[in-house]
Structure formats: structure tokens, C-alpha cells
Amino acid sequence: MLLSPPQDVNVNVLSQEFVELNWTEPEDNGGSPIVRYRLYIQHKDMAGSKLKIETPDNKTSYKLKVPKSMWGKEYVLTVQAINKSKRMSML
């Protein structure tokens, strides 16, 4: 079974220093419960390295303290699901 990617990824700006990232669970969990998510954040023009964050659990939201180097810039957010069998959804 294939693990489908999370859907409806949204970013809520709480302040210059904090954003809340939200998404909905994948339609298909690949036959095993989702245990955590991996977040990738990269500058909109794809220059520079990606910020990679692993959530500690299977909650579908994450509050991020925004590094000063990211303030006032546009970024692309990608969310990847990871299930108990350690399968990962496609990005």
C-alpha cells in the first residue's frame, strides 16, 4: 500500500517570530498508523538549504519559531507523513 501525502497544508502567521503550520492527515496511511510528520521549508526561489523538522508525534499542526534569517521572506512548505512501518509519503 502506498502512503499518500498530507493534504490542505496551511500557514497561519501568528507574529513575525511565530507561525502555525496545519495540514490534514493523508487519505491513505499505507496500512499502518501515522506516527509523525517531516516538514521541509525552503526559500521560494529554491536557493539555499532546506530547513528539516521532524514532529514528535502525529498531530497535524506545528508551531514554528521563525529564524530571523527567514523574517519577511517567502518560503515553500512541504509536509511528509511517516507511518509506523517507517514508510514515507511522496513529497
Per-residue pLDDT of the chain (91 residues; tens, 9 = 90+): 689 999 999 999 999 899 999 999 999 999 999 999 999 998 887 766 788 999 999 999 999 998 888 888 888 999 999 999 988 887 6
42-to-17, 35, 56 alpha-carbon distances in Å: 17, 24, 21
Separation of alpha carbons 6 and 81, rounded Å: 6
Report pTM: 0.87
**Which parts of the chain are beta strand (E)?**
7-13, 18-24, 34-43, 51-54, 61-65, 75-83
pLDDT value of position 19: 94
Give CA–CA dist 56/71, Å, rounded. Answer: 25
